[in-house]
Amino acid sequence: MYQNTNLKTYSLKETPYYKVHGRTDYSQYPLPLFWNGSAIEVNVSGTELWIDIDVDFDTFEPWVGTDIDGAFMSRQMLMPGSYSLCLFRNMTLDAVKNVRFYRELQAMSEDDSCHVLIRGFRTDGEFYPVADKRFKLEFIGDSITSGEGTYGPNGDQPWISMFMSSSRNYANMTAKALDADFRLISQGGWGVLCGWDNNPHHNIPSCYEKICGLGLGEFNEKIGAQKPHDFAEWKPDAIVVNLGTNDCSAFNQPQWEDPDTGETFKQHLNSDGSFVTEDAARFEKAVVDFLYMLRRNNPDSHIVWVYGMLGYDLSLPITNAINTFRKESGDIKTFFLQLPNTTEETVGCRFHPGVKSHERAAKVLTEYLAQILGA
């Protein structure tokens, strides 16, 4: 049986240099990767590198990816347990490799047991410092930002972990193009006011100020998911908000009713298909309120609200809300950007934007951010 006897084990506490991407509770050991795109990055020499992890789930298995020297190398599902994964072997001993091990799957509000924890590494090499990139970008969104549909065959498919990603979505593409570190905060089906099914509790603002407000249950609370996020520890140069797609869907869905309390909620259309004025205003207020929250916590960041990869129906209410916020607050660093719609040629799995659609969106967004950031 093959065995490299030169491997040395490093707990994360003993690893001299590494860089964490994504919101987390740094006091935890092992270290949680809560969000899609959350990662641990190392510069390491040696012929071989393994990562030691703890994994569990009830229904939705986590998927992870590995990049080496900026090149996509592997993507795989994880099974429950404590074990090691080999990230590379038989590479040049003295050459320093940049390795990024990252979570592909979004934070799973539907599975309280779903987690990926990092214990440490095994290698026959040495660790070296990992530099920051030129910019920091935060992306906030729904299934589009969770990369849903970027893997898998076209057509109607089940809602499963395998079809979500951070490796193929517009946020990752934009960050690479701008030489930026990035964070993702996203949840499929959620909106700024309500979810696609009119559930008013499924809104991103309600969880934004916690480390991972989507991480529910006793275990997630134990590993720090519900702690307040420290906005001073990582200050984004720009925040990209891609919300509104599910809020739009809610207008066409039945009333939501809480089976336990009888609480109901519904966004309504007029008989001619237009938005009921009061409900459109309710959505606009949710956008304005979220912009105030973002600005309060990120006083120096540019804020770009993007929309359009799955239709343009709420473009006017979103721009109305942004204009209201700018006028009320005097904020001159908040903007709206329309992204290219997904077409038959660019659609992916589950009728979501495919890789080509994400590439088109990333190109538009990259050019826009380069202007406002002076890249």
pLDDT score of 1: 66
Of the residues 128, 145, 180, the one at which a domain ends:
128
Containing domain of residue 194, as a range? 135-373
Q: Do 108 and 152 belong to one domain?
A: no
Q: Do 324 and 216 belong to one domain?
A: yes
Asked whether residue 321 is domain-assigned, the answer is: yes
Asked whether residue 172 is domain-assigned, the answer is: yes
Q: Can you list the positions of beta strands (E) in 151-226?
A: 180-186
Element (H, E) at 291: helix 277-297
Query: Along the chain (375 residues), what's the average pLDDT of each consecutive run of 10 residues?
Result: 86 98 98 98 98 97 98 97 97 98 96 97 98 98 97 87 96 98 98 98 98 96 98 98 98 96 97 98 98 98 98 98 98 98 95 97 98 92
Asked whether residue 210 is domain-assigned, the answer is: yes
Indicate which CATH number applies to the domain containing 121. Answer: 2.60.120.260
Q: Can you list the positions of beta strands (E) in the chain?
A: 8-11, 19-21, 31-32, 39-44, 49-56, 63-68, 71-77, 81-88, 97-103, 115-123, 127-128, 135-141, 180-186, 238-242, 256-257, 264-265, 302-307, 334-338
Q: Do 155 and 192 belong to one domain?
A: yes
Asked whether residue 154 is domain-assigned, the answer is: yes
Asked whether residue 17 is domain-assigned, the answer is: yes
Q: Do 287 and 261 belong to one domain?
A: yes
Q: Do 54 and 161 belong to one domain?
A: no
| Residue 367 CB-half CA count within 13 A | 8
pLDDT score of 104: 98
Q: Do 52 and 140 belong to one domain?
A: no
Q: Do 74 and 116 belong to one domain?
A: yes
Asked whether residue 161 is domain-assigned, the answer is: yes
Asked whether residue 1 is domain-assigned, the answer is: no
Q: Do 239 and 354 belong to one domain?
A: yes
Q: Do 166 and 103 belong to one domain?
A: no
